[in-house]
């Protein structure tokens, strides 16, 4: 039969072991983030989303090596409404 203090010591060791493994996995789980704006090159062009209320368009172009510009607008019948102007800038 184990004593209460031995049981408590085993519980503490088990918790420390689990915490150590968890910390090891957390530290090893490294995500690589890149700040390369060229990965957004797929945006270039005009995109259309048709809805029952009209079509939504987004047009993207490359301004320079560090910036893309975009504009979204909505067409409903013969009206065109500019929704937003967007700048995507790598700093």
Contact yes or no for 83/58 (Cβ under 8 A) = no
| Separation CA 72–CA 82 (nearest Å) | 6
Kindly list the distances between the CA atom of residue 20 and the CA atoms of 23, 26, 27, in Å, as whole numbers in the listed order.
5, 10, 11
pLDDT-derived band at 30 (thresholds 50, 70, 90) equals low
Q: What is the pLDDT of residues 33-84, one digit of tens each?
A: 566 888 889 999 999 988 888 888 999 999 999 999 999 998 887 888 888 9
Model-level pTM greater than 0.75? no
């Amino acid at each position: 039969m184990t004593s209460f203090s031995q049981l408590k010591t085993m519980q503490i060791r088990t918790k420390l072991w689990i915490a150590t493994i968890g910390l090891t996995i957390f530290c090893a789980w490294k995500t690589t983030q890149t700040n390369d704006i060229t990965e957004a090159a797929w945006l270039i062009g005009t995109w259309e989303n048709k809805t029952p209320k009209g079509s939504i368009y987004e047009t993207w172009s490359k301004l320079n090596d560090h910036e893309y510009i975009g504009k979204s607008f909505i067409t409903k019948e013969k009206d065109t409404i500019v929704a937003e102007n967007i700048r995507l800038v790598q700093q």
